[in-house]
Amino acid sequence: MSDETTNPLREEIAGAISENPVILFMKGTPDQPACGFSARTVAILQSLGRPFAAVDVLPDPRIRQELAELSNWPTIPQLFVDGELVGGCDIVTEMYQSGELQETLGLDAVSAEAAPEAQAQEAAPLSIENRL
3-state helix, strand, coil in the chain (%, to 5): 40, 15, 45
Find out whether the peptide bond into 8 is cis, omega within 30 degrees of 0.
no
Inside any domain, residue 13: yes
Q: What is the pTM of this model?
A: 0.80
Q: Considering the domain boundaries, does residue 120 fall inside one?
A: no
- Which pLDDT belongs to residue 85? 97
- Which band of pLDDT confidence, cut at 50, 70 and 90, is reported for residue 102? very high
Give the pLDDT confidence of 26-38 residue by residue, as tens digits. Answer: 999 999 999 999 9
First to last CA, the chain: 34
Q: Is 19 within a domain?
A: yes
Q: Looking at the 3D structure of the chain, how many domains does it have?
A: 1
- State the residue range of the domain holding 45: 4-88
In a domain, 30, yes or no: yes
Q: What is the CATH number of the domain that holds 13?
A: 3.40.30.10
